[in-house]
Amino acid sequence: MIDLEIDVKIHESEDENAWLDTYERDMMIQHTVEHLRIHIQRSLADLRCQEHNEPPRVHITVIYSQELEQFEDLKYDVQTCCKPFLMKTVAALNKR
């Protein structure tokens, strides 16, 4: 099993005319985070370094802009035990 962490930061702004209320926004964020989690777990589920028998570690940071009402600045940080395994992990994440 991979070590996966997803952090969502919300840039708050006071907008009376916001399309989503706080509950709807939080539900949308929760759904999106779960979708990301499932995608990454499926992509990397059986992946372990053949030399070191270590799984990859993935940390995702994403910012949600209240003002724009959208996600922005999605960053992946992939950590592995060695460079060849990093290349294999990144290739697995990039497959569709």
The two three-digit tokens of residue 49, written as one number:
């370094």
- Give the domain extent around 56: 3-94
Question: Cα angle at 55 between 41 and 28, to 5 degrees?
Answer: 25
Give CA–CA dist 46/8, Å, rounded: 26
Note the pLDDT of residue 13.
67
Note the pLDDT of residue 20.
73
pLDDT in tens, 53-86: 999 999 999 998 887 788 888 999 999 999 999 9
Give CA–CA dist 34/84, Å, rounded: 29
Per the structure, how many domains does the chain have? 1
pLDDT in tens, 9-66: 988 766 666 677 888 888 989 999 999 999 999 999 989 999 999 999 999 999 988 8
Helix axes 83-94, 22-44, angle to 10 degrees: 120
pTM of the complete model: 0.81
Per-residue pLDDT at 2 exceeds 90: no
Note the pLDDT of residue 95.
86
DSSP, residue by residue, 3-51: EEEEEEEEE----TT-SS-HHHHHHHHHHHHHHHHHHHHHHHTT---TT
